[in-house]
Amino acid sequence: MSQKRWIAIILGMSIVFTALLLILSRAPLPQRTPTPIASVTTAINVTATATSTATPTSTPTPAPKPNIGVQGQFIGPDGDAGIKLAADLGVGWIKQQVDWNSTEYARGLYHWGELDHLVAEAQKYGLKIMLSVARAPGFSRPEPVEEDGPPSDFSIFRDFMFALSNRYKGRVAAYELWNEPNLRREWRGFDLSAEKFVELIKAGSNGVREGDPDAVIISGAPATTGIDDKLNAIDDRVYLRDMIAAGVADYVDAIGAHPYGAGNPPDERAADAAHTRSGFNTHPSFFFLDTIEEYHAILIEAKIDKPIWVTEFGWPSIDQFGKVDTSGWEYARDVTEQDQAAYLLRSIVLRRDRAWLGPLMIWNLNIALLLGAERSESAYGLIRPDGSLRPAYQQLRRARE
């Protein structure tokens, strides 16, 4: 991919993320739907600009964590280093979000080289791979590609998912179909609608079932926003119920979840009498444990026996970052690097007695190396912008699941 394309994509992502923060920070504050957690997930395809490269420690051998994974940037010039960092962390999975727009540059014509290399490198280390697909290509929709959204014709998604899964049959273990579709910025071209989203899932699932019947299919996770204005966002619990009513369980093997916890510890809940943090603690969307437990209750209520796969989660910390604008997500100032590490470890412990939870995918391994300290997404990283390892990386490396 040319440098010009890399730059165009990351500038587009920056514009979209900034716009979302402005929308959310100005959103009205109804009693039940306080200011949302800013969503940080986009299909990031960039060329690394950092001069430092993280170097994993060589000893001791990391503790194995076969059901824990990390999302990161495992393609591009520093992709191999990212895969090595993931392997040295001892996790069993890596997750890469596929920028469909960059992969299928014209109908039926594909740039496979980077994904081919990722799959081959991950297999060298015995890592399982999850690919999350979003951002329909320009030829498939009228909106500018900087504004993420599905194709106008969902059969195009079916064809791409067939091509993708068939190419990596037996080598990519799981596919997540779309990303945070309850947000307007991820669903341009259509009104927000869980029913419409399930139509997209059905098309994508049919493609995967034909391309690789053994692959695990996960529904794209809604964002935990706390907003339910039906224009910019739909509350994730409402959206999940609507997905179930539209028949999502017929097309997937697992239900995706993004239980970001703002600055709150993973074992706290909104109804607790006291909280560690003074803000972002009045709504269940701000709590990791509330989200996974409420999703599980919704599935039980609907008599659906499907596991919940946590395809993204994490805690942001700007500790050691210097000056960073945290307008709209001030909780990142409350979370120290040690807090970030402790919360991730406690999340893994919480999984142990919840057999209905599938793998946990930490967001994000190496984002700060790509975007630098000024970008808000970098606060979630396990690697600092200068390439040094944060306590979260070092402590996770020693931890078992």
Parse the chain into domains and list their residue ranges.
3-398
Calculate what percentage of the chain has a pLDDT beyond 70.
Answer: 85
Q: Look at residue 10 and tell me whether its pLDDT is greater than 80.
A: no
Mean residue pLDDT of the chain comes to: 89
Decide if pLDDT at 216 tops 90: yes
pLDDT in the model for residue 59: 58
pLDDT above 50 for 229? yes
Closest CA to 370 of 351, 353, 383, 361: 383
Question: Residue 399's closest CA among 379, 377, 382?
Answer: 382
d(CA 38, CA 60): 37
Say if CB 185 and CB 231 are below 8 A apart: no
Whole-number Cα distances in Å, 88 to 81, 128, 204, 271, 360: 10, 14, 33, 38, 17
Over residues 58-87, the pLDDT tens digits come to 458 999 999 999 999 999 988 999 999 999
Distance CA 15, CA 7 (A): 12
Q: Are 226 and 235 in contact (CB under 8 A)?
A: yes
Please tell me the distance from the alpha carbon of residue 295 to that of residue 237, in angstroms, as a whole number.
Answer: 7
The average pLDDT across 201-206 equals: 99
Q: Counting Cβ atoms within 10 Å, is residue 233 exposed (0-12), middle (13-18) or buried (19+)?
A: buried
Number of H helices, E strands in the chain: 12, 10
Residue-level pLDDT at 68: 98
Maximum separation of any 2 CA atoms in the chain, in Å: 56
The per-residue pLDDT for 322 is 87
- Calculate mean pLDDT across residues 350-363: 98
The H or E element containing residue 217 is strand 216-219
CB 275 within 8 A of CB 268: yes
Q: What pLDDT was estimated at residue 60? A: 83
Report the amino acid identity of residue 2: S
* pLDDT value for 55: 57
Q: Please enumerate in sequence order all residues whose Cβ is within 8 A of that of 246, keeping only pairs 6 or more positions apart, or say none.
A: 194, 195, 197, 198, 199
pLDDT at 193 over 50: yes
293 against 146, higher pLDDT = 293
Provide the strand spans (E) within 47-195: 65-71, 91-99, 104-106, 109-110, 128-134, 174-177
Query: CB-based contacts of 58: which residues, under 8 Å, 6+ apart?
Result: none
Asked whether residue 110 carries a pLDDT value surpassing 50, the answer given is: yes
Give me the half-sphere count of Cα atoms (radius 13 Å) on the Cβ side of residue 168: 28
Q: What is the rounded average pLDDT of the residues 148-162?
A: 97
Is the pLDDT at 334 greater than 60? The verdict is yes
Neighbouring residues of 191: CB distance < 8 A, sequence distance ≥ 6: none
pLDDT of residue 147: 78
Region 3-398: CATH code: 3.20.20.80
Q: Is the pLDDT of residue 90 over 80?
A: yes
pLDDT at res. 57: 53
